[in-house]
Chains A and B, each alone.
Chain A
Amino acid sequence: MAEEICAVGIAEYMVGRSPGKLVAYGLGSCVGVMLYDRVKKAGGLAHVMLPSSRLYEKIPFPAKFADTAIEALLKEMKTIGCSEEKIISKIVGGANMFAPLSSNSIPIGLRNISAVREKLLEKGIPLVAEEVGGTQGRTVTFDLEDGRVEIRKLNFPTGWL
């Protein structure tokens, strides 16, 4: 039986149950946030673009911002029966691919990583693994069967979380 692989595009999120995989292709400065309930074998992936929704009035895509993305993931995971105490997180991405010419501002990739970590801490969700930063883009495949995350760079598998 073919296993379902669902792509999660930029500023999108998806929640699902095992069996199945969620994939975020080409995370550049974006951060892929993965939440997993290993008891329920269910989880979600958000493809986060920006750190904070604070200055924005309308938010048509909750996964666009770190804060609203994590809230959205949690909310939907709870509706499929996940319990917050059992949820763990893994994050990937936030690279600085276009090195800034004037290094006066903190690169957006790093700001995304900080914002995601902060929100996870605020929600009391343990961050059990991460591969973030650097200058290279990453593709992540999140396996809902066991919560494993495969990372690819330049389309070549480089490791697991």
Chain B
Amino acid sequence: MELENFNDFQLDALREIGNVGAGNAATALSQMVGRRVGMSVTKVLVLPTEAIAGFLGGLNQNVAAVHMPIYGEICGIALVFFPLERINELSGMLIGKKEENPLHLSEMGESAIKELGSILTGAYLSALFRFVHIQMIHGVPGLALDMAQAVLDTVLVELEQKEEIAIVIETEFLENEKQLTGSFFLLPEAGSLKKLFTAFSKSLELPNNG
């Protein structure tokens, strides 16, 4: 899949989607933690999956990964990554009870993180929908606490693809001076990606030069 299919104009549109999505996401997060959460610099990229680990800063960062199937007119998998070492802090904020160990969250804490990932995914997907008008429903979330590369490995197997392109939206959440980076990935199935690009071009009223 050629990344040149996204020209500058379309990349700008993607960035706008990223901003809208991140804004939705920050609002949602504020409501969930009961405190004002701002958001700052977001990166919006279209990346081949082998570049993702490097993008996350190192080949094997440990992450808390919420994963969901995407179905509807576009099929694939959505992921929300948080740095693993901060996850007990985030969980603690959500459930109002301190969690000591990121690797041993309470059942309620895990549930809260999964719901957070699901709600954030909805925030980003609805921003995408405003542009491309394609139905994407996110399904039941799961949680994996693991090396980023292992999560991607598993996703690629689920999609049966060696190579995948991911739409990546990285958001920096700010709460009271504290920063937390959340990364959202949408990995559409091969056939779906084409549909997405086409819809993108149409929505910007540009010829699909392919």
Q: Chain B residues near A160 (CB, 8 Å)?
A: none
Q: Are B147 and A98 interface neighbours, CB within 8 A?
A: no
Q: Which of B130-183 contact A (CB under 8 A)?
A: 140, 142, 144-158, 160, 162
Identify B150's interface contact among A11, A27, A49, A61, CB under 8 A: A27
With A26-B150, A108-B157 in contact, is A11–B60 under 8 Å at CB? no
Q: Are B60 and A29 interface neighbours, CB within 8 A?
A: no
For chains A and B in complex, what number of residue pairs have CB atoms within 8 angstroms? 86
Q: Are A137 and B162 interface neighbours, CB within 8 A?
A: no
Least CB distance from B192 to A in Å reads: 19
Identify B158's interface contact among A10, A108, A153, CB under 8 A: A108
CA distance A36 to B157 in the complex (A): 26
Q: Chain A residues near B154 (CB, 8 Å)?
A: 28-30, 95, 97-98, 137
With A97-B150, A98-B67, A139-B147 in contact, is A154–B157 under 8 Å at CB? no
At the interface, yes or no: B11 with Cβ under 8 Å from chain A?
A: no
Say whether chain A's binding surface is mostly helix, strand, loop, or mixed. Answer: loop
Identify A154's interface contact among B59, B62, B153, CB under 8 A: B62
CA distance A33 to B145 in the complex (A): 24
Q: Chain B residues near A154 (CB, 8 Å)?
A: 62, 84, 103, 145-147
Identify A9's interface contact among B50, B62, B146, B150, CB under 8 A: B50
Q: Which of A1-42 contact B (CB under 8 A)?
A: 9-11, 25-30
Q: Are B150 and A138 interface neighbours, CB within 8 A?
A: yes
At the interface, yes or no: A83 with Cβ under 8 Å from chain B?
A: no
Identify B151's interface contact among A97, A99, A138, A139, CB under 8 A: A97
Q: Are A49 and B152 interface neighbours, CB within 8 A?
A: no
With A97-B150, A154-B147 in contact, is A26–B162 under 8 Å at CB? no
Q: Which of B31-51 contact A (CB under 8 A)?
A: 50
Q: Are B156 and A97 interface neighbours, CB within 8 A?
A: no
At the interface, yes or no: A73 with Cβ under 8 Å from chain B?
A: no
At the interface, yes or no: A64 with Cβ under 8 Å from chain B?
A: yes
CA distance A31 to B148 in the complex (A): 17
Least CB distance from B59 to A in Å reads: 6
Identify B149's interface contact among A26, A61, A64, A136, CB under 8 A: A26
**Measuring CB to CB, which residues of chain A are less than 8 angstroms from any residue of chain B?**
9-11, 25-30, 49-50, 61, 64, 95, 97-99, 101, 108, 136-139, 153-155
**Measuring CB to CB, which residues of chain B are less than 8 angstroms from any residue of chain A?**
50, 53, 59-60, 62, 67, 84, 103, 140, 142, 144-158, 160, 162
Which 9 residue pairs of A and B lie closest in terms of their CB atoms, listed nearest first?
A137-B150, A26-B149, A28-B154, A28-B153, A26-B150, A11-B162, A28-B150, A137-B146, A29-B157
